[in-house]
Amino acid sequence: MPAGFIAAPVCEPSGSGAVFEVGPGKAYENIIDVPFENLGPGDVVKIYAKPDPYYERIILTTARGTAGNPVCICGVPDGNGNLPVLDGTNAAVRPVNVNTYFNDITAYLGVIVIANEWDNHPEHIQVKNLIIQGAHQYSNDGNQKYKVMGTSTLEPYSPGAAGIWMRGTDIEVSNCIIQENGNGVFGAYNGPENPLTNVKLYNNVIRNNGTYGGYRHHNVYLEADSLIVKGNLIGPIRDGSLGINLKSRSAGEVVMYNKLQGPASRHFDFVESQNGYDWLAQKASFRRTIVAGNIVVGVEGGAGNILHYGGDGDNTTPSDDLRQGTIYAYNNTFLLRGYYLTGDPDAVWRQSFTDLNTCNEKLYAFNNIWAYHNPRPDETSDTNITIFRYRGVVDHFSHNLVAKATNAWYNDKTDGDPCLQGYDFATLQAAMASNSDLSFVDLDNDDLHLAAGSVAIDAGVTVPVGLPAIDHQFVMPNSLEERHGCSLDIGAYEL
């Protein structure tokens, strides 16, 4: 477990709910003995930590809580703070009988599966204080397996299996460690009868998920109607994977106070709706994404850009399939890291802070630190650093501090002003600051708190009405603290 990991308070039954205790000496020795099919409002399943993992999975099909009385699956730490571990390796699961497709496919897509058939989905579910791992096909060799329901027969996981695979409404995952799966957290919206709505990820560590050589599996991969992600440590992606830290096809994304760390092929990836296109892409909230108070730390040879908004691939043709909206980025601290050296396979020639697909995707940015670090300055050149990659339009850009290595709005593979906005490079020059001006506590070791004397102190502007206020900041590895100061500092941390 990461040093300093903070567990949530253990769930207690609410309303007329019952408690089901699992572990050595408890009413249920095994997770699969719990009657999950009978869970209702206010019920709590407490899974107690033990020295060895539970090689068992959970399927929630009929669990339905209420707003005031959710169903809670909750780990109980031991005396040393260790969480219970659910490991998908050769894991057994309590049999369910939904329909042929669910029984044969969906039931095996995660260590925890929250789903049911059409118009019969789980509601108001909380998952807390668990280490969730082992649903993957990392090496693509068929060796990572699960037990078929009700048997000892072993079958291989799908490469896209997840720590938590979800479809339903009002699902909250908090204070969990989700690692070494195909996808860390996965879910998709399949329409009003089979939705994924009101998903919250709070104070988790989600890391080392993905498939070797694969680009389709990520630490977080969600398509939801309303997604809130706060207080999480996300990344890196699993060694050898080409996946993304946070990929979303959702409407109404609010991503605040997280720390994302590389390597990852991208850190933030907000793209077109897929399964839910006929519904989510028609909502005004699909055209508005909030990214605020986050820290993103790049690595050598890592992501070429931090914030992607638009659609999959390099599609530069405007289309309603893409986001065609505004991403609001404020009080973030973004750090690109890289260098250029002819003949070095790890060298990066071009990096950009953002990658917006077309001239109909807009950036509304203020109070951000856009920093760059060349870890080998004595033997290499700086990379070609720009604000945008190929396209993108500034809706607002003020009170930002930009790396001195930044040399253009767009990279040199464009014609200089592809969206014909006439941006003045002097605007960037006026915002430029060296790393010594920014004065991070320990840049080499990724501590991006501000030190005394930083030009970012008290230099921010008040958050406009209509956007979420900045009142907290991230604390390693999975918590938040209140942010105090007479005036807002620029970046994710207040001195």
What is the pLDDT at residue 57? 98
Residue 234 is predicted with a pLDDT of 98
Q: Is residue 224 domain-shared with residue 294, that is, in the same domain?
A: no
User: Per residue in 348-372, pLDDT tens?
Assistant: 889 999 999 999 999 999 999 999 9
Residue 100's contacts (CB-CB under 8 Å, 6 or more residues apart) are: none
Q: Is residue 377 situated within a structural domain?
A: yes
What span, in angstroms and rounded, lies between the C-alpha atoms of 70 and 309?
34
pLDDT band, residue 65 (cuts 50/70/90)? very high
Is 6 in a helix, a strand, or coil?
A: coil
Q: Where are the beta strands (DSSP E) in 225-379?
A: 225-230, 233-234, 246-248, 251-256, 259-261, 268-270, 288-292, 295-297, 305-309, 326-330, 333-337, 350-356, 362-366, 369-373
Q: Are residues 448 and 338 in the same domain?
A: yes
CATH of the domain at 83: 2.160.20
Determine the pLDDT at residue 345: 86
Number of folded domains in the chain?
2
Tell me, yes or no, whether 37 lies in a domain. Answer: yes
Q: What residues are paired with 225 via a beta bridge?
A: 197, 251
The average confidence (pLDDT) of the chain is: 96
| DSSP string for 79-111 | TT-PPPEEE-TTBB-----S-HHHHHTGGGSEE
Q: In the chain, what percentage of residues exceed pLDDT 90?
A: 93
Write out the residue range of the structural domain in which residue 370 sits.
290-298+325-495
CA dist 78 → 10, 74, 83, 373, 422 (Å): 12, 13, 7, 41, 60
Q: Let me know whether 238 and 345 are in one domain.
A: no
Q: What is the pLDDT of residue 395?
A: 96
Q: Kindly state whether residues 1 and 124 are assigned to the same domain.
A: yes
208, 243, 278 - which closes a domain: 243
**Does one domain contain both 238 and 330?**
no
220 and 294 fall within a common domain: no
* Residue 417: pLDDT band with limits 50, 70, 90: confident
Q: How is residue 281 annotated by DSSP?
A: T
Residue 315 lies in a domain: no
Is the four-CA dihedral 317, 321, 326, 331 of positive or negative sign? negative
Residue 227 has pLDDT above 90, yes or no: yes
User: Is 262 a member of any domain?
Assistant: no
On whether residue 318 sits in a domain, the answer given is no
Distances (CA, A) of 24 to 7, 8, 54: 21, 22, 11
Residue 60: its pLDDT value, please? 98
Residue 92 lies in a domain: yes
Dmax (CA) for the chain in angstroms is: 71
Write down how long the chain is: 495
Tell me which of 243, 274, 309 is where a domain ends: 243
* Residue 309 maps to a domain: no
pTM (predicted TM-score): 0.98
- Asked if 434 and 339 sit in the same domain, the reply is yes
Identify whether 53 is part of a domain: yes
